[in-house]
Structure 1
Amino acid sequence: MITRLAALLIALSAPVARAEPEAVSRYGDDAAARSLLVRGTTDIALFDQLLDRFAARFPDTRITYEQWGSNDLYAVTAAECETGGPAADAVISSAVDLQVKLVNDGCARSHRSPLTAALPDTLNWRDELFGITREPAVLVYKRDMVPANEAPRSRFDLIDLLRPEDSRYAGRVATYDIEQSGLGYLFAFLDSQQATTFGSLIEAFDRAGAVATCCSAEIIDGVVSGRYLIAYNVLGSYALARAAEVPDLVVVAPEDYTLVLARAALIPRGARDPESAGQFVDFMLGEDGRRAMAAERLIIDFTDPDPDTGSFYYPSGNQSAFRQIPLSPVLLVGLDRQKRALFLERWRETFTRY
C-alpha cells in the first residue's frame, strides 16, 4: 500500500497532466505582436499593478498571468522541461527551493543584464534564478484577542504561551500544512536547521494541538475572524496588507530570528519568447517594478517597513536577526527524498489532535 508520504513524493516528482492554474488574468492589447505567459504563486491582486505597468511600458506585448499553487507549479514546469515542449516564458515562485531544483535540473535559461549583475550573490544563482521580493516570515495576532502581556515577540514567547496544559491557545494557533504548501515546507525545514527552539516548538505545537492548514491568506483570515488566535510563519506581505485593513491586526517579525524570502524568477528552457521574458525579469528588478511591488508590500524596507501600518513589530536594532534565504544549492538539502520523508513524518505526527 502506498502511504500518504510516498504518494506526495511521487506526486512532486511525476509529470502532472491535469493540473490547472487557480486563476488567470490578462494584460495589454490583445492585438499586440508579442505574447508573454507568466506563471507564479503570487496572488493576482498583488501582481496586478506590476503587470499593468509592464504592459504600459511594452505595449507590443500582451501578458497572460496564471496563478498556481507552489507544488503544482513546480510539477507542471518540471514536466514541460522533461518533455522538451513549449513552456511558460517566466516562472515565479515563493517555494524557492523548488525553483533551485529546476535550475539544478537544467530547466532554466541564462539571462544577464546590468540589473541581474547588480543583485547580491544570495539573490542571483548562475544567472538563471533571480530574487525579486523581500518578505519576512511573521507571526500574526489581533490586539483584542491576545492581551498585551501575552503578545509574542519571539518563538520563545510562543512556546511559553502553549506550554500550560490548560492553555487558551490550544487548537487556536495555525501554520501551513507543509504537505500542501511548498513555501510552508521550506519555512518549516529552515526552522529545523536554524532554530535551537525547533524541538521545543514542535513539542508545544503537538501539546497544544496547533492547526496545519492552507495558505497565508486563509490563515490570516482565520485570525481576523477569531477562529485562530495566532498565525505562525505566514508571509509578511499578506499580513501587512490585511493589517492595513484591520487596525487590530498585529504583525511580528520574530526577534530571535526572522526568515526573509525573495520570490524567485526563472526563464524556462522551453520559453517561447525568452527575449520578452528577459525584459520582464529586468522590469521586476528595475525601479518601476520594484515600486509596484513595494506598494503591495512584496518588498519591505525594514528601516521604514510600512508607514501606513503602525502594527508591525520587528527587530530594528538587530539587523542580524533578519536571515535572507539564499538562492543556492543549500536549499536542495530539504528536498532529499529520505530527509523529506522523515521530516514530513515528524511534522504530521505533530498535527493530529485537532
Structure 2
Amino acid sequence: MKAFLTAMMTMCVVPAFAQEATAVFGPDDPKQLMTIRSTTDIAVFGPVVDAFLETQTDIGILYEQWGSNDLFALSKADCAAGRASADMLISSGVHQMVQLVNDACAQAHRSDATAGVRDELIWRDELWGVTREPAVMVYNRDLVPYDEVPQSRFDLLDLLRPDQSRYAGRVATYDIEASGLGFLFAFIDSQEATTFGGLLESLGRTHAIATCCSAEIIDGVANGQYLVAYNVLGSYALARAEKDTRIGVIAPNDYTLVLSRAVMIPRGAENAGLATAFLDFLLSDTGRAQLREALLIVPIDGEEGELEAGQASGGVVRPITLAPGLLVALDRQKRESFIRRWRETFPSNAQ
C-alpha cells in the first residue's frame, strides 16, 4: 500500500474558492503527478487512490478536497479562461457536472470499461457515474424510541406534527445554499415527493437546522444535538454507523434517491492519460470492489444486494440519471425561486 504522505487542512487558500484539504499519495519524487479535485472526503477515498497506485509505477496523485459549489465555480472559471485545470473532477453535485459537460469543459474517453457503464450513468462519453449512494435518514439509536424511528417521509411528518413535538429544533438537513448536493436532493424531492410541501413547512415550523456538511450533521446526531437528520448521503452515514452504535440509518420506504458521483476529465487536463487510466480502474471489478469497501457503492436493491435489516428501503429506488434534465436544477429563475421558497419556509437560524 502506497503511503499517504500529507494531509493538510487549508481554509480559503485562494481568494474566491475554499479548498477544504489536500493530500499527496505515492512516491516522494514521482515522474508524473496527477491532480484530482473531488468532493469526496480524503479519509473515505484515500484507500481507493492507494489501490490504484499499486497498479502504477512512479506515479503520484495530488488529491484536493472541495465543497461542491466551490469546485463547480472554480472548474467553470478554469474552463472559461482556457486554463489547465485538474486532471480529474469527481463530484456529488452531479447537476453541476452535467453543466460543465454541456459547456464543453470536458473531454471524451471510450474504453472497454466505459462501454460497460449503464446508460443512465454515462453522458456524451464525457461524464460517468462511479458510485451508488442512497439519500437516507439518520437517527440516534439511544434517544429515538424504536416505534418512533421514521421509515418514510410520512413518518417524519408525523413526528413533527404535534404542537409540542420533542423533535422540534432537533431535526437537521443540508443547507441548500451551502451544499450543492443538498440543493440537488431537495430540488428532486420537490419534483418527486407529494410530501415535499408539508415536510418543508413542518421543518420550518419546528425550527429544524440546516447546515453544510454530512460530517457535521452525523456528528450532531451521534452526540444528541439532533435526533433525526433528513436526506443525508448514505455512504458517510453507513461508514459512521459501522463504528458508532448510536447511529441508525434508514433508506425511506416511500422512495429512496440514489446518487452516483460523477467523474469528468477536464478539457485542459495535462495528464489526461493518467486520468483515463484511473477512470477505467474505478469502473473495473477491482475498482468497484474498492469502492464497495469504502461504502461508496452501497447495496440497496436486487442488482447490488440488499441493505441490512432495518435499513432497506422496501420501496422505490430512484437513481439520479446523468442527463440534460438535471440542468433544470441550475436554471437561474428556477433556482432563485426554489431558494426563495426555502428561505420563506425554513428556519431563519439555518447555519
The TM-score normalised by the length of structure 2 is 0.92
Contact 1:39-1:92 within 8 A present in 2 as well: yes
Distance in 1, Cα, partners of 2:141 & 2:339 = 33
Partner of 1:4: none
**Matches for 1:221-260 after TM superposition, within 5 Å:** 221-260=219-258
Contact 1:132-1:265 within 8 A present in 2 as well: yes
**CA-to-aligned-CA distance 1:274-333 (integer Å, 9 cap, x gap):** 1111001111111221111111110012259899x95751124x4xx1100000000000
Partner of 1:326: 321
Distance in 1, Cα, partners of 2:20 & 2:279 = 23
Contact 2:132-2:260 within 8 A present in 1 as well: yes
1:267 aligns to 2:265 (yes or no): yes
Partner of 1:199: 197
SS at structure 2 position matched to 1:145: coil
Contact 2:205-2:347 within 8 A present in 1 as well: no
Amino acid in structure 1 at the alignment position of 2:244:
V
Partner of 2:134: 136
SS at structure 1 position matched to 2:167: coil
Go from structure 1 to structure 2 and tell me whether the alpha carbon gap of 1:312 and 1:271 turns closer, same or farther (over 3 Å shift): farther
**Offset of 1:353 from its aligned partner?**
4.9
**CA-to-aligned-CA distance 1:74-119 (integer Å, 9 cap, x gap):** 0111111011011100000000000000000000000111111111
**Offset of 1:32 from its aligned partner?**
2.3
Partner of 2:21: 23
Contact 1:260-1:323 within 8 A present in 2 as well: yes
Partner of 1:58: 56
Contact 2:250-2:313 within 8 A present in 1 as well: no
Partner of 2:4: none
**Offset of 1:150 from its aligned partner?**
1.1
Amino acid in structure 2 at the alignment position of 1:327:
L
Amino acid in structure 2 at the alignment position of 1:21:
Q
Distance in 1, Cα, partners of 2:147 & 2:49 = 43
**Matches for 1:136-215 after TM superposition, within 5 Å:** 136-215=134-213
Superposed structure 1 runs of 4+ greater than 4 Å apart: 303-307, 309-312
Contact 1:249-1:311 within 8 A present in 2 as well: no
Amino acid in structure 2 at the alignment position of 1:170:
A
Distance in 2, Cα, partners of 1:193 & 1:214 = 22
SS at structure 1 position matched to 2:243: coil
**Matches for 1:76-155 after TM superposition, within 5 Å:** 76-155=74-153
**Offset of 1:31 from its aligned partner?**
2.4
**CA-to-aligned-CA distance 1:111-142 (integer Å, 9 cap, x gap):** 11111111111100000000000000000102
Partner of 1:350: 345
What is the number of residues matched between the two proteins?
A: 335
Which deviates further from its counterpart, 31-40 or 176-185?
Answer: 31-40
Distance in 2, Cα, partners of 1:66 & 1:244 = 26
Equivalent residue in structure 1 for 2:275, among 277, 281, 287: 277
